[in-house]
Amino acid sequence: PSEAVFFAEGPKEVDEYLRSQDFEVIMLPEGVDPSEEARLLAEHGGLDVMFAEMLDITPQRQTVLRGLAERLVIFDDLCDHIYNADLVVCGQDLPSHANRSLSHPDTRFLVGYDYFLCRPEFLPFVERQREHSESIEHVLVTLGGGGYGVGYLKAAKAIAETEARATFVLGFADHGDLAEQ
């Protein structure tokens, strides 16, 4: 059986959720520098595959991560960075954004909607025909789990100028003050 270890940063809710699913979690200190991160990760050596989300992973940091595991896989939503990974996965259809010529020559790219990460129960809706109306009554706004506070507030201002009702889905990182605003 394979073992998964999560090296996580961020809100305590992430740590709590992963532990509730019986995963081993090593919480990295916020703002840890690359050499300290490498030391912490090396203590858990022998990693077969490391998966990472692209946030703030410079090419130098990717080099460190790639040296700690047999394979480094990066998930990125826009594919607009320089990569030094074995594999970059982007779930959007943005082939012109993949910085292939600037990235390590051995980096493979999987780009397109087939790679969009979603729960299996959403798949039947992928090919569904949609009908659009000039009249908008209800709006759902969800921008992911990153720091999208400004985006949420801009959407709220735009929707406030209409008659539409709105539902905002905020991630763990968007604490009460954003919901209140």
DSSP H helices, 25-175, are 34-42, 59-68, 149-160
pLDDT at 166: 92
Joined together, the tokens standing for residue 28 give 């990295």
Displacement of CA 33 from its chain's centroid (Å):
20
pLDDT at 68: 85
Residue 173 pLDDT > 60: no
Q: Report the alpha-carbon distance of residue 65 to residue 38 in Å, rounded.
A: 7
52 Cβ contact list (under 8 Å, min separation 6): 65, 72, 73, 74, 75, 85
Output 85 or 176, whichever has higher pLDDT: 85
Smallest Cα–Cα separation from 85: which of 108, 55, 101, 68? 108
Q: How confident is the model at residue 132 (pLDDT cuts 50, 70, 90)?
A: confident
95 Cβ contact list (under 8 Å, min separation 6): 111, 112
User: 71-107, pLDDT tens digit by residue?
Assistant: 999 998 878 888 999 999 988 876 566 577 788 899 9
Q: Count the Cβ atoms, other than its own, within 10 Å of residue 46.
A: 8
SS3 content of the chain, % helix, strand, coil (to 5): 30, 20, 45
User: 30-56, pLDDT tens digit by residue?
Assistant: 777 778 888 888 887 678 888 888 877
Q: Confirm whether pTM is higher than 0.75.
A: no
Top mean pLDDT of 6-10, 46-50, 62-66, 70-74 is at 70-74
pLDDT at 1: 41
